[in-house]
Amino acid sequence: MKYKRLLDDKLENHFDRHPKQALVLLGARQVGKTTILKRLFPEAKYLLVDEVGVHKILESYSSAVYRQLIGGAKRIFIDELHLLSNPGRAVKLIYDQIPEVEIIVSGSSSLHIKNKIAESMAGRAIDYFLYPLTYSEYLYQTNINDRMDYVISSKLLSGDESNSVATYDIESLVEAMLLYGQYPYLIRNPRDKLYLKNMIDKAVFKDIVALNLIENRSEALRLLKLLAYQIGNVLSYSSLAKRLEISAPTVRRYIDIFEQSFIIYRLSPFMNNTGREISKLPKIYFWDLGLRNALVDNFNELELRLDKGTLFENFIVNELKKEFDYNDSGYRLRYWRLRSGQEVDVVLTKGDEVYGCEIKVGRGKVSTAFSNRYPKAKKRLISLDNFV
């Protein structure tokens, strides 16, 4: 089985490009952070913070004790760094007091790591993000294709809207991704519903609860389930608060935590201050659709589902975000909507470039209202027939 990821080259060349910077890899649980770092840096001394002995030593915050732990290693890999009470302090001590050692760290909660490391490691670390498998990585790891690329974003930017041609069954493959998601584990264990349901409790909430980031676990789970039914929709914090009978600030804070824990993300609106365009409220998407479907307990086949189009939209937005992040394209993803309801699913912008993209399982076209307001924007239709 092939394990290569699109992020490999960036990580592997990190210390050549940034010789004095620590490598920080962030991402959700089970996306393959430990696997990729162990594969790319097999010589690094591995320190798992989840182990009692390692945790106790690192919590000493003593450079002398750290030296004994590190020994003669020239490079160390601290895994699950977020489990320390003050991860930034630990990394800063090693960085400043044992400068000959190259530092690699990983963690699942960017909220905790970045908040605690930001002050201590300013100018001392480079952050990277690893996501669930991209479409191209999925094909590579299942031996359908022998190379990886940025296939979806490249085709979109090229303007090629011709139907996809492939030697494999695209619809069946996409259906598996829309229903069961793209966690690496599912390459070897396809359609494992129990794994996904366990992920909600063991992975999603483990860090959040352990780090005391929420006061009411059941309340947070109810909110997350509500969000699972609203993918691709404009969020109303006040409406969610009213349904859950909690305060709007609490809803916002929980959503912030979910986003920083790589469960969901928000897409901001694109607008030019005309007053008729939505200017503040974001749309919500899940980083993995298998996890989303586990939350709503629905793994029915696509032909039986009313949310087929919504799932495909979430899938395409995910792929664009992952590909654009991995290749440092500089494109920003937003959505566009008038208060009267006309909308465009995704608006890509980079400098003066503007792309209005409509995402449909079948046929469709970009909103005429958008075309009239932004006549220089390039229009794209992304469908199940032509996305690759």
pLDDT in tens, 114-146: 666 666 777 788 999 999 999 999 999 999 999
Cβ atoms of 30 and 185 closer than 8 Å: yes
Q: Is the confidence at residue 243, as pLDDT, over 60? A: yes
**Cβ atoms of residues 177 and 135 within 8 Å:** yes
Q: Is residue 30 scored above 70 in pLDDT? A: yes
Percent of the chain past pLDDT 70, that is, above it, reads: 94
Q: Tell whether the model's pLDDT for residue 235 goes beyond 80.
A: yes
Q: What is the pLDDT of residues 171-216, one digit of tens each?
A: 999 999 999 999 999 999 999 999 999 988 776 677 677 667 787 8
Is 111's pLDDT higher than 60?
A: no
Residue with tokens 């760290």: 105
pLDDT confidence of residue 124: 86
Domains of the chain: 8-129 (3.40.50.300), 136-383 (1.10.10.10)
Q: What is the pLDDT of residue 121?
A: 74
Q: How high does pLDDT run on average in the chain? A: 92
pLDDT at 279 over 90: no
Task: State the pTM of this model.
Answer: 0.94
For the chain, give the longest Cα–Cα distance: 67
CB 257 within 8 Å of CB 227: no
Residues 6+ away with beta carbon under 8 Å from 56? none
β-sheet with 332-337: strand ranges across: 332-337, 343-350, 353-360, 378-383
387: helix, strand or coil:
coil
Residues 6+ apart with CB under 8 A from 65: 57
- The average pLDDT across 65-90 equals 92
33: confidence class by pLDDT, cuts 50, 70, 90: very high
